[in-house]
């Protein structure tokens, strides 16, 4: 379960933000997670709920998750398309010369502090 490792890294970052801004408590954190990031959001939420109870700056804080849709670009025809729907093969020209434009990120979008 790599979600716990991501939560631990996230907590370090939030600790730094709290220290730099003289915050004693973080009210909520909004995270953007890519559709094909490999992060299982249910496990991510479980890890957050477990860890936030044991971490004073995060105790009682809310986790908000927003999904970033996965988009793939085709080198063959220059089109972008939905990755999850069509996979690696371009639905427009059938080319396999494609690359992921977005959708594998995990980004802190917003932190609300009390």
Q: Is the pLDDT of residue 18 over 80?
A: yes
Does the pTM surpass 0.85? The reply is: yes
Question: In the prediction, which pLDDT does 1 show?
Answer: 56
Sequence-distant (6+) residues with CB within 8 A of 20 are none
Span 63-99, pLDDT tens digits: 999 999 999 999 999 999 999 999 999 999 999 999 9
Sheet holding 26-34, edge to edge: 62-68, 26-34, 106-113
Instruction: Identify the CA nearest to 38 among candidates 73, 84, 99.
Output: 84
Task: Select from 3.30.2320.50, 3.40.50.920, 3.40.50.720, 1.10.3730.10 the CATH code of 2-69+103-113.
Answer: 3.30.2320.50
By the 10 Å C-beta count (0-12 exposed, 13-18 middle, 19+ buried), 86 is classed as: middle
Percent of the chain's residues with pLDDT above 90: 95
Spans of all domains in the chain: 2-69+103-113
């Amino acid at each position: 379960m790599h979600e716990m490792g991501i939560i631990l890294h996230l907590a370090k970052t939030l600790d730094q933000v709290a220290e730099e801004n003289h915050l004693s408590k973080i009210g909520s954190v909004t995270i953007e997670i890519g559709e094909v990031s490999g992060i299982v959001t249910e496990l991510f939420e479980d890890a957050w709920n477990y860890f936030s109870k044991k971490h004073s700056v995060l105790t009682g804080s809310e986790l908000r998750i927003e999904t970033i849709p996965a988009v793939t670009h085709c080198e063959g025809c220059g089109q972008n398309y939905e990755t999850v729907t069509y996979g690696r093969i371009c639905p427009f020209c059938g080319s396999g010369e494609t690359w992921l434009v977005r959708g594998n990120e995990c980004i802190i979008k917003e932190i609300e502090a009390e």
